[in-house]
Structure 1
C-alpha cells in the first residue's frame, strides 16, 4: 500500500465537501457522503477539519478564493469584469450555490476573507469616483452579474424562450456588460 499523502487526501475531502455543500447546504450536507466521494473515512475528515462547521467554512473559503483568483477585478474595465463574473458563474455554479447556502444557513461564515475584500476594494477604488464608493460598485457589479443565475426559471422562461439556449445566454451576458457600463456612466464612475 502506498504511503498516505495528507495534502492529497485533504484536497479530495475539500473538493467533495464543496460539491456536497453546494448541492445540499450545511444542514443537508452529509459527512458520510463527503467521505465516500473523497475515498476516505469520516475519521479523517474530523482529523483534518475538526468538524462539519469547519469543513463547510473551508469549502466556502476555497470556492470564494478560487473565484477571486480566476476573476480578479479589472479596474480599467469594470463592465468587462461583470461579464467575466457572469461567465465564471456559468462555468463554476458551485461557488454561487455554496455562497447562497452560507448566506441562508451560516451568515457569519459567508464573509469573503477580509484580505480578498480589501484587495478588491483597493483595486476598484483606483477606478472609482463619487458618488459611488468602491464597496457600492462591488455590490452592484456582483448583483448584476449573478442576477440571471438567481432568477426563478419560470421568470426566465416567461417570454417562451429557453434560458439555456446559448444565444439567449450570450444576450444576457451582453445585457450584464451594458447595464454595468450604464451604471458606471450614470454614477460618474466610467
Structure 2
C-alpha cells in the first residue's frame, strides 16, 4: 500500500493539535503524537523538522482555519464577536494553542501576521478614532475570548457543566458589549 504523505501530515497535525492544546510545547510529547497519528517520530522530523516546527505548523494551521471559519464582518463587528465566541466554544484548542505559544514561545513566528493583516484591513474602514483598526480587533478578540480565558473556578460557580442557555446568554453579553463599545466611539 502506497503511503499518502498529505494524509499522514494531516493526521500528525490533528494529533499535535490535541497534544499541544492539552500539554503545551514543553509538555507535548512527539512520541504520543506519532502514536496517535499512526505514524512514527521519524516522519514528524522529516515533515516538520522537529518538535518546534511541528508546534509552529500546528498553531499556524489552527489560526488559518479560524481565519477561514470566522472571517471579519466589518459591517457587523458585534456579530463577528459572536462568531469568534462561537468558534472558541466549538474549537477551544485554538485558543489554548495560542495561549501556550504566548507563554512558552513568545518569539516564535507561528502566528502569521498575514492572517491578522487581512482582518485588520477589513476592519479599518469600520474603525473610527480614537481607536485604530488593530485596537478594535484586540478589544473584540478580548471580549469574545473572555469566557474561555476566565478561571474555571470563577465561571463554574453556578454549576458545571454550563447549560446551553448559559452559553447563549454569554454570547449575547459578548455581542452587546461590542455593540456598546462601538456605539460609544461614534
Question: TM-score band (shorter)?
Answer: over 0.9
Q: What CA RMSD, in Å, does the superposition of the two structures yield over aligned residues?
A: 1.2
Q: Which runs of 4+ in 1 moved over 3 A?
A: none
Distance 2:140 2:65 in 1: 18
Q: How far apart, CA to CA, are the structure 2 residues paired with 1:154 and 1:20?
A: 24
Paired position in structure 2 for 1:130: 129
- Among candidates 168, 171, 178, match of residue 170 of structure 1: 168
TM-score normalized by structure 2? 0.96
Residue 120 of structure 2 aligns with which residue? Answer: 121
1:142 counterpart = 2:141: yes
For structure 1, list consecutive stretches of 5 or more residues without a partner in the other structure: none
The CA deviation string for residues 39-98 of structure 1, in whole angstroms up to 9 with x for no partner, is: 011101101110100000000000111101000100000000000000000000110111
Maintained 8 Å contact 2:70/2:87: yes
Distance apart, 1:27 and its partner CA: 0.2
Gaps of 5+ in 2: none
Q: CA deviation at 1:118?
A: 1.2
Aligned residue for 1:186?
A: 184
Give the C-alpha shift of residue 7 in structure 1: 1.1
3-state SS, counterpart of residue 112 of structure 1: coil
- 1:157: Cα distance to partner? 3.2
C-alpha contact (below 8 Å) 2:74/2:123 kept by paired residues? yes
Deviations 1:129-168 (A, max 9, x none): 111100000000000000001111221233x344611111
Q: Partner residue of 2:100?
A: 101
Question: Partner of 2:51 in structure 1?
Answer: 52
